[in-house]
Amino acid sequence: MARLNISDLARTAYQDEHQGWLIEVAVGYVVETDEWLAHAYVTAPGGSKEKVAIHEPTRPTSGDAVEYGFKTAIDYIDQMVDWRA
């Protein structure tokens, strides 16, 4: 199965914030499998960037990959905020 690296994925990137954390989701198309792949990263306020999810190409739309990336990042952030409290 073909894999895209982040430089390929970075062509289509989405950003948002949740509880002061930056969320970045990069999405790319895998031609060989006709599916989408997403990498999700979070950055804590004043912290470093961490990869929190790689959406395996199992769904046929970019929207599914983006949704998975953001949902996983938000769940991760909520766990980290609760853990630090």
Question: pLDDT tens digits, residue range 47-64?
Answer: 888 888 776 656 557 777
**Cβ count near 69 (within 10 Å):** 25
From 2-11, 40-49, 60-69, 72-81, the region with the lowest mean pLDDT: 2-11
Count of other CB atoms within 10 angstroms of residue 84: 7
* Integer Cα distance of 17 and 83 in angstroms: 19
> Domains in the chain, please, with CATH?
6-84 (3.30.160)
Q: What is the mean pLDDT of residues 5-11?
A: 48
Q: Report yes or no: 15 and 23 within 8 Å, Cβ to Cβ.
A: yes
Mean pLDDT of the chain: 76
pTM above 0.85, yes or no: no
**Rounded Cα–Cα distance for residues 79 and 84 (Å):** 9
CB of 69 closer than 8 Å to CB of 37 = no
Q: How far apart are the first and last CA of the chain?
A: 41
